[in-house]
Amino acid sequence: MRKNNSTLSFGSKEIHFLSDIYSQRELIAHGIKSKLILNNMKYTEPILFLYPLKEEISKITKYFELEIKGYMEYVGGEKSGEIYIPKGYRIKSRCTAFASTWDECIVEIDPDEIYQKRYIKKLDENLKEKTNLVFSLTENGLVSPLGWFEMSFNGSIKSDIKPRVILNFGDGWIAKFERHYRYIDKDIEEVDGTFLSSRLVLNIEKNSYLFKSLDEIIQLSNSLDTLLWYLSFGSRQRTTWLEWTAKIGAEYIEYYRNYVSHKTQKYIEPLIDEISIQEFLQHCLNYETQRNRLDISLPITYLVSASDDKTIEMKFLSLFMALEALLDLYAESKIKNKIIKDKSSWDDFYSYMTKAIEDFPNLDDKEQMIKKLGIFNQPSRKVLYDDFCKNIEVDNSDLWPVFGNKLDLSRIRNKLIHGKRFESWSVLTIAKEHLRWTVERCLLAVLGWKDTGVFHKESLQKYTAYRDWKDYYEKTCSL
């Protein structure tokens, strides 16, 4: 649900234009007056208002999902830019109190993503300059640049802000985490004032280069998604991008995506410290170029998702999903995902066991037992986990056992996944922290990055969950 905002967000603006409205590629309304609001005080997310005539509103409101193609014009009628919303969802519609006089109504649209295009003077492609692709990010203090700024009495701003994380993004691209400031003097929703807003951005730049197509930006944004998952992992805080701006040929394009969460939940202490974060992120980018590497994006996604605003049970299960996804990747890479690897041998074994069950006397539910035969060809999770830890040389013996004990983490997982409540909240909380440390150690070991506190027992001694876990474990096992 949209909510009122107490401060002016970065990039606040209103854009007025005309729109052609489509549903399932069929034009349903033409030349509708439109207003797109981006990041102002009242709306924390982009919103589109359509102002159709009274006789046109029924053509629009009969559909829930719409495609909007907007255009801006100079006084002479020449187009100056375009707005394209591939998917917009109708929130509500109404006719205003003065509709009988002005014959106008309002339709509110929640845009899924927005392309804003402005035409610029066509450039000589032979005259290449530095190209910048700027992504606006959700906040993350671990990579935020250091510096200062001050505003003089006449409104001018002085600043000295230097990025502290600069990365080699490959193929001549350099990526810098920067902070962009914007000074706005504006009347908005009865608020008359001067605002200074800022946003964390990633500026990806390359010398002597010009973008020729949108596909190039999509490729870079996909690489950025990977980098930001590593940043989220290292900072224990979900960080993502919300919009980008770039110049493509003779067009200046701003793209907003509204389908990602703007919320960020910060963990008390990052996994990687500020001093090492640049080296860590560069190490992760280099890891992505290695052959025969494990694609650990899915385990990292599950791990980072465990930091979201969820119940403790859901956080535990998300962490265990991360571990199981990692073990599955390892099993596939080592061809250990099946005990009987040859299909014909497995078919012979399956037929033999099926016949043995069918011929066994005085046995109920034979059909159910036959359906369970596939489990015979799955490797033991404990054996697989032990082999994984041995192969990547990680020692988790100081943490709560994952497999093989009376109350190991896998048993807690089995209880929760079958909808049963775990009686002791304190035990579950401590077990969850141990599961997090286990997953983090395993992922860091796969990356080849072991020089961090989560691997050192001395660094973990400050946590009660680490010092006293055996007492909780033994008491629970004795119940």
User: Following DSSP, what letter does each residue of 182-240 receive, concatenated?
Assistant: EEEEEEETTEEEEEEEEEEEEEEEESS--B--HHHHHHHHHHHHHHHHHHHHHHTS---
Question: 201-255 pLDDT, tens per residue?
Answer: 999 999 988 898 999 999 999 999 999 999 999 999 999 998 999 998 888 999 9
* pLDDT bracket for residue 7 (50, 70, 90): very low
Residue 30 lies in a domain: yes
Q: Are residues 53 and 75 in the same domain?
A: yes
Residue 269 lies in a domain: no
Residue 281 lies in a domain: no
Last residue of a domain, one of 98, 119, 140: 119
Q: Are residues 154 and 204 in the same domain?
A: yes
- The secondary structure of residue 308, as a DSSP letter, is S
Residue 270 lies in a domain: no
Question: Residue 172 sits in which domain range?
Answer: 131-241
Which residues on neighbouring strands pair with residue 132, listed in sequence order?
A: 205
Structure tokens at 227: 């980098």
- This prediction's pTM: 0.83
Q: Report pLDDT for 150.
A: 66
- The secondary structure of residue 104, as a DSSP letter, is B
Residue 8 lies in a domain: no
Question: Which residues contact residue 360 at a Cβ distance below 8 angstroms, ignoring those fewer than 6 apart?
Answer: 366
Last residue of a domain, one of 241, 276, 300: 241
Q: Are residues 315 and 418 in the same domain?
A: yes
Q: Are residues 203 and 110 in the same domain?
A: no
Question: 256-284 pLDDT, tens per residue?
Answer: 987 776 666 666 789 999 999 999 999 99
Q: Report pLDDT for 298.
A: 95
| CA distance linking residue 148 with residue 447, whole number of Å | 35
Q: Are 191 and 9 in contact (CB under 8 A)?
A: no
Which amino acid belongs to residue 339? I
Q: Report pLDDT for 378.
A: 76
Which is more confidently placed, 369 or 27?
27
Q: Are residues 170 and 54 in the same domain?
A: no
Q: Are residues 112 and 160 in the same domain?
A: no
| CA distance linking residue 384 with residue 373, whole number of Å | 20
* pLDDT bracket for residue 176 (50, 70, 90): very high
∠ at Cα 234 (472, 273), nearest 5°? 90
Instruction: Give the C-alpha distances (Å, rounded to integers) separating 53 from 85, 95, 105.
Output: 21, 9, 6
Last residue of a domain, one of 241, 256, 274: 241
Domain count across the chain: 3
Q: Are residues 148 and 201 in the same domain?
A: yes
The CATH number linked to 59 is: 2.30.110
* pLDDT bracket for residue 39 (50, 70, 90): low
Residue 182 lies in a domain: yes
Q: Are residues 328 and 204 in the same domain?
A: no
Q: Are residues 137 and 213 in the same domain?
A: yes
Q: Report pLDDT for 97.
A: 57
Residue 374 lies in a domain: no
425-447 vs 381-392: helix crossing angle, rounded to 10: 50
Residue 188, judged by CB atoms within 10 A of its CB (0-12, 13-18, 19+), counts as middle
Which residues on neighbouring strands pair with residue 38, listed in sequence order?
A: 13
Q: Are residues 196 and 148 in the same domain?
A: yes
Q: Report pLDDT for 178.
A: 93
437 three-class SS: helix
Q: Are residues 301 and 395 in the same domain?
A: yes
26 three-class SS: strand
| CA distance linking residue 378 with residue 375, whole number of Å | 5
Which is more confidently placed, 420 or 384?
384
Q: Are residues 156 and 225 in the same domain?
A: yes
Residue 248 lies in a domain: no
